[in-house]
Chain A
Amino acid sequence: MVDVPYDRIADVPPAEVPEVELYHPKSWWTQYVFSQDAKVIAIQYSLTATAIGLVALVLSWLMRLQLGFPGTFSFIDANQYLQFITMHGMIMVIYLLTALFLGGFGNYLIPLMVGARDMVFPYVNMLSYWVYLLAVLVLASTFFVPGGPTGAGWTLYPPQAILSGTPGQDWGIILMLTSLILFIIGFTMGGLNYVVTVLQARTRGMTLMRMPLTVWGIFTATVMALLAFPALFVASVMMLFDRLLGTSFFMPALVEMGQQLKYGGGSPILFQHLFWFFGHPEVYIVALPAFGIVSDLISTHARKNIFGYRMMVWAIVAIGALSFIVWAHHMYVSGMHPTFGFFFATTTLIIAIPTAIKVYNWVLTLWRGDIHLTVPMLFALGFIITFVNGGLTGLFLGNVVVDVPLSDTMFVVAHFHMVMGVAPIMVVLGAIYHWYPKVTGRMLDDWMGKFHFWVTFLGAYLIFFPMHYLGLQGVPRRYHDLGEAAFITPSVHTLNAFITVVALIVGFAQMVFLFNLVWSYFKGRPSGGNPWRATTLEWQTPETPPGHGNWGKELPVVYRWAYDYSVPGAKEDFIPQNQPPATRAVQGAAT
């Protein structure tokens, strides 16, 4: 792959596409607030997502305080506990992770990595952020309305989600569904931009098979999101009608407090199907960008080309496709026909194959690499270990017979926090340490970073590993107070208290990280344009942070894939993607 002449890779000859002119801001407002520049929008997305994510973090502390020391905190009652778990889950999965990976990293990295000046439709991109902000504000407002936010659990299962026994029945559920609908509208506007930019706005020489895996991950996740969010959109609209208009899409005939409700004939299972048709791809919408980013982090910081690039790409695409036919493995306890259970268990286990290919390729990339234990690398390694752990428990839960007894226990909580909570967050943190120098021109403080990593990584294990044992003991999730059941042994309470203490410590470490972000912005060591000596295009910009339009007068031309690290015979241990091959002149002279 080293110096393959330009023309031998591309089957179709490159064409010169005339550049579409760029929008130029005219005032401070259009430059920094109502900005159409993808980089500014990316930062807006990231800051908003982080802000609402902090709310969810605080909610998790409150939940842990209640679980660890039941009865001590009188200000947390059962209803509030349910509201906390609901908002924590919803915010973390959708408003933090999805928005941060796609809206944040997607906006910042896609145009830079594929060599574009901006997203294809900057105005629509700007609208995307403002609708997202509106969705976040509507969501946050539920904390202040009468009755508070909904406590239906993040899955919002009907019929309980809209019945009066559930907290937040008045306003909480209505605003939650409204916020979801807004989020999907906003995301669609951004997502269309990301997809079209990757497909149609790459620079010369940037074939799809030369794109960094980060772009592949974000691109595939965005395509999936565009196809999966419609199901959530429809489910939200229908439940909103059930709640507001008295329709019975999801509501069967019910008796509440001795009163026959007006509902009848609807199917709660239909909601579960719609929700999980969105919900399962959503796992990979969060995971695929993480897969992509972690591949680039490992390759860059191990100074070695990624092992099996083509397989990595195909694995990403295969996982994306397969994730649309596994959704009902979330519904084994809904009373489905065993044949369906068999089908969905099979497809679920098949997903393990491309996933395992990726894990092996990461490990083989590390094998005999020149591993630099920088903070991004530490987080990438932390991701692999956490992800493998969470993936293995996924094999447990993917099988019907094992899932049924474990369903709705702490085992499930441990599994998905490991695999789609902690693991992607590890990548988010590693990616922030990796790209912060490009965004600000300064390095994040290394000592604080290492402290942050070790506390977060070890802490996450100490929090979630014991939860597997709790789950095997039969400790149910979503319980405000475990009470005096025979199967709740004293060790359960000890473990719960232990987990709570660790969770608070890990929470404190995140404050160190936030301090690091602010402190380094002013006092950090200047980074220069390419502190990690990386090959991808975003590190080759003429300015750092990249200026308006990303590139100078000329767009970069790409001559090679993104992973030319430690090429034998090369002067440096990395060759940027836009460096022309040495043999090219010779080739030209020969023909």
Chain B
Amino acid sequence: MAETVLTNPGKTPAQTAGWKGIAADWSSDQRAFKNVSWGKAMMWIFLLSDTFIFSCFLLSYMTARMSTTVPWPNPSEVFALTIGGHHIPLILIAIMTFVLISSSGTMAMAVNFGYRRDRVKTAVLMLVTAALGATFVGMQAFEWTKLITEGVRPWENPWGAPQFGASFFMITGFHGTHVTFGVIFLIAIARKVWRGDFDVARRGFFTSRKGHYEIVEIMGLYWHFVDLVWVFIFAFFYLW
């Protein structure tokens, strides 16, 4: 924010239209993205790279699922829970998805209060986000435990193609790791916000750079990305 604002923008001449204008704007002085700070640009590019990782994971899983000669276990059955005598398909996954999407909401609110430099509300909302994220990981751990007790292993399962367990543990594990890292960083940044590091420009322990409230927004980018990835995993792994 403070560091991203351009001072002295000077006169704005009539800009070239069309593709030429886009190219000229992009390649113009100093910055390709005018009001984007270094940190935010870096997070966006990292997320682009990470998108490729998740895409490769999902495409590999889809290849395995489409080419297997053994029937693929039915996700609606596998991920069903019996609650109060009712057999409800995908109920846990639905709750998990709801929790994670809600955490995106609280994260967005945290970013909003970060903009207003509202120290307490930002920190609290980030902690709520972290708690929702931790809940998600906890439910995932429950799901893993349930499947493992039912005999699902990376190399076999009682219902069909062995790639089911392999893909499941790999993809949800990789995504869960992302959520876990997110929770850790959320707590770390919430602590800094709470302590007022960004109000007094306290220096970071590792980088010895002054922090900014913008880090809340950058954290938000990561968190929303992890949510978005989950939507794709949900669609391609559970609903297919």
Contact = CB atoms under 8 A, between A and B. Distances in A.
A11 interface: yes
A84 to B, nearest CB: 30
A248 B24 contact: no
Interface stretch (B36-44, B99-107, B118-126, B144-152): B36-44
Interface in A218-249: 226-227, 229-231, 233-235, 237-238, 241, 245-249
B49 interface: yes
A202 B29 contact: yes
A20 B3 contact: yes
Most central of A122, A193, A196, A235 by chain B CB within 10 Å: A196
A237 B177 CA distance: 14
A258 interface: no
A237 B30 contact: no
B207 interface: yes
A262 interface: yes
A270 B209 contact: no
A156 interface: no
A121 B38 contact: yes
B8 interface: yes
B78 interface: no
A79 interface: no
A61 interface: no
A241 B154 contact: yes
Interface stretch (B51-59, B81-89, B108-116, B228-236): B51-59
Contact of A196 (B38, B57, B208, B210): B38
Contact of B69 (A234, A265, A277): A265
A188 interface: yes
B158 interface: no
A382 B165 CA distance: 53
B49 A10 contact: no
Interface stretch (A100-108, A205-213, A499-507, A523-531): A205-213
A65 B48 CA distance: 46
Nearest to B8: A16
Q: Kindly state the interface size class of chain B when it binds its partner.
A: 35 or more
Contacts of B3: 18, 20
A15 B35 CA distance: 11
B18 interface: no
B70 A265 contact: yes
B161 interface: yes
B162 A247 contact: yes
Nearest to B7: A16
Contacts of A202: 29-31
B63 A270 contact: yes
28 contacts: A12-B29, A13-B12, A14-B29, A15-B7, A15-B34, A20-B209, A23-B209, A120-B42, A123-B209, A191-B49, A195-B45, A196-B45, A199-B31, A202-B29, A202-B31, A204-B30, A205-B29, A206-B29, A208-B27, A227-B52, A233-B53, A234-B60, A247-B162, A247-B165, A247-B166, A264-B162, A270-B64, A274-B60
Interface of B: 3, 6-13, 15-16, 21, 24-34, 36-39, 41-42, 45-46, 48-50, 52-53, 55-57, 60, 63-64, 67-70, 154-155, 161-163, 165-166, 170, 174, 206-210
Q: List the 7 shortest-distance A-B pairs measured between CB atoms, nearest first.
A: A208-B27, A11-B24, A247-B166, A230-B52, A14-B29, A234-B56, A13-B10
Given A199-B31, A234-B56, 18 more contacts: A12-B28, A13-B9, A13-B12, A15-B6, A15-B10, A121-B42, A193-B42, A196-B41, A208-B26, A208-B28, A226-B48, A229-B49, A230-B49, A234-B60, A238-B60, A247-B170, A249-B60, A270-B60
